[in-house]
Amino acid sequence: MNTQLPKGRGAISDGKDTNLNEAPTRFITKNAKTLVIYFSRSGNTEYQAKIAQKVLHADSYELIAKNSYPTDYDATVSRSNQEQAGSLPQLVTDDLPNFDQYDLLLLGSPIWGMTLANPMQKFLEQFGSQLGGKRIAEFTTNAGFGAGC
């Protein structure tokens, strides 16, 4: 199987960040004042989230979809388009920490179809009302979209 994609056709998934074979990242303490919340399919956003966690001495929480995304790029694009036209994915958030402890929330997401990845959109839809009074910063990653617009 050829795992290399033509240049400008998105990141190759390492198969881990779809959480098919690996538990999601959960690093929650009692004293951190910053929480990094992120979604990563290919590992690019996760890499940036880990840097932020280390530099900011932050807690970290990886968002995961109840139904993991495929490792195949084209299959992920197809599913993402269907979700955008219908309903965003369900998230597994049983162990989401209480936001009261944190002064700053750092939200990380890849860019899908010129917007935040569907799981991050769902997080904001589902939990956005709980973020009032918090400082919020964001970071995004993009593995390429051809020549762009």
Give residue 70's pLDDT.
82
18 in a structural domain: no
Range of the domain at 43: 26-141
146 in a structural domain: no
Q: Report which DSSP code applies to 70.
A: P
8 Å CB contact between 76 and 117: no
Full pLDDT tens readout for the chain, 149 residues: 444 444 445 555 555 555 566 788 899 999 999 999 999 988 889 999 999 999 999 999 999 999 888 878 888 889 999 999 999 999 999 999 999 999 999 999 999 988 999 999 999 999 999 999 999 999 999 876 554 43
Q: Which domain CATH number covers 120?
A: 3.40.50.360
Determine the straight-line distance between the first and last CA of the chain, rounded to whole angstroms: 31
10 in a structural domain: no
13 in a structural domain: no
115 in a structural domain: yes
- Our count of domains for the chain comes to 1
How far is it, in rounded angstroms, from Cα 44 to Cα 33?
Answer: 24
The residue length of the chain stands at 149
11 in a structural domain: no
8 in a structural domain: no
